[in-house]
Structure 1
Amino acid sequence: MYERALAGREKALGPDHMHTLTTVNNLGGLYINLGWLQEAERMYEWALAGREKALGPDHMHTLTTVNNLGLLYSNLGRLQEAERMYQRVLAGREKALGPDHIHTLTTINDLGGLYRNLGQLQEAERMYERALAGYEKALGPDHMDTLTTVNNLEGLYRNLGWLQEAERMYEWALASREKALGSNHI
């Protein structure tokens, strides 16, 4: 359906129209889900070039595509390129939305995971703790986004051998999830 929509939009509106570029970006996401990573990269690069030209490098739609490229590069093991993308998104979101906006915090959390994969564990901890503080303030200690970051910190602490800190994070996440979802939730 996306490919059909893309062909129609490209023909009717042109390859650089915002509706066409939105379809291109969405098609990139579908290709990732299908495991077609080269095709996804091609779509995201097309969407990024068009959005940068039409909207500028710091527009939220442009940064969404930059973030998508960061996720793709991370999946491809191109971690330095992923870091460059995430840093760009973080700078843009901090400037436009502020340091405590949910979208900014999500990028900070994603950077934490990237730094963990790069073996930069102190930087990962700094990102996760920053995201956690922001999520707690904005969403509360029991929100699923907060708990995802708690879980990320638990894994990092476990990897570092900081078992008491890991246990504290695990117990927090478990208690909150049982409260929200019930003890029998899968």
Structure 2
Amino acid sequence: MNNLACVYSKYFEYEKTRELLTESSRGLFQTLGPTHPDTLIAQENLAMVYNDLGGSLRDDGHSIMLDVLAKRKEKLGKEHPFTLLAMCHLARTKADRGDFEEAEALLYDGLAVAKQNLGETHIGTLYGKTHLGRVLLMQRRYGEAEDILVDTIKKYELSSAARNGEHPDRLIAMRALDRLLSRAKQDPRGDRCF
């Protein structure tokens, strides 16, 4: 059910995604418990759908991510890849709420560990860098965001998870770079990146 919900989210059918993830999270919580890895994955996915849906659900998503991160740190440790993913997702919820400093700090902290433990071209490191670029874009720090996104797009080609130099997450970075270039041309208040 959780995996099916993720398919619906790729087609931007967020209400159906939310419905499936709510049921999946509830069932996993009751069956496997609140700290089981599958329960936390379902809750994390639900939090990100809440974030995408926005409005008051965004606060619910933020609360869920705080809980998921705390449980992963306790169960897996601060440097585990799933803990780092939770840090990235919490940063996304913070940025979308306007808490840019906290989001940036979470991403920089997580990236330092990811680079050391996973390497520069690991898909998890690149995912974190993509979202750091997105946070910088939201703050109109176009030059910094462009540098990070261009570097990230290039490194996706070197990732062991890429097939023939391509990975679906690379599209997220390319989309963020496209938004950046469009906004930077029209925004006299942001720094210049070209």
Shift of 1:158: 4.5
Q: Which has the higher contact order (CA 8 A, sep 6+)?
A: 2
Calculate the aligned-residue CA RMSD, in Å.
Answer: 2.7
Tell me which of 33, 42, 45 is aligned to 1:56: 33
Q: Distance in 1 between matches of 2:137 and 2:95?
A: 12
In the other structure, the counterpart of 1:43 is: 20
In the other structure, the counterpart of 2:186 is: none
Q: Distance in 2 between matches of 1:145 and 1:55?
A: 26
Q: Distance in 2 between matches of 1:80 and 1:93?
A: 20
Question: Aligned residues, how many?
Answer: 161
In the other structure, the counterpart of 2:100 is: 121
Shift of 1:175: 5.5
Tell me which of 62, 85, 94 is aligned to 1:83: 62
Higher percent of residues as helix: 1
Q: Distance in 1 between matches of 2:18 and 2:83?
A: 23
1:148 to 2:127 alignment: yes
1:130 to 2:88 alignment: no
Q: Distance in 2 between matches of 1:159 and 1:38?
A: 25
Give the conservation status (yes or no) of the 8 Å contact 2:81–2:124.
Answer: no
Q: Distance in 1 between matches of 2:20 and 2:155?
A: 39
Shift of 1:179: 5.5
In the other structure, the counterpart of 1:29 is: 6
Shift of 1:177: 4.5
Give the conservation status (yes or no) of the 8 Å contact 2:94–2:103.
Answer: yes
Shift in CA distance, 49/164, structure 1 to aligned 2, threshold 3 Å: closer
Shift of 1:81: 0.8
More displaced 10-residue stretch of structure 1: 158-167 or 143-152: 158-167
TM-score, length basis structure 2 = 0.70
Shift in CA distance, 171/47, structure 1 to aligned 2, threshold 3 Å: closer
1:176 to 2:155 alignment: yes
Q: Distance in 2 between matches of 1:82 and 1:26?
A: 19
**Per-residue CA distance 1:89-122 (angstroms, 9 max, x = gap):** 1111111111111111111111112211111110
TM-score, length basis structure 1 = 0.72
Shift in CA distance, 36/156, structure 1 to aligned 2, threshold 3 Å: closer
SS at match of 2:78: coil
Q: Distance in 2 between matches of 1:55 and 1:178?
A: 38
- Of structures 1 and 2, the larger Rg is shown by 1
| Structure 2 segments unaligned to the other structure (5+ residues) | 160-164, 172-194
Q: Distance in 2 between matches of 1:118 and 1:32?
A: 21
Shift in CA distance, 151/42, structure 1 to aligned 2, threshold 3 Å: closer
Shift in CA distance, 59/172, structure 1 to aligned 2, threshold 3 Å: same
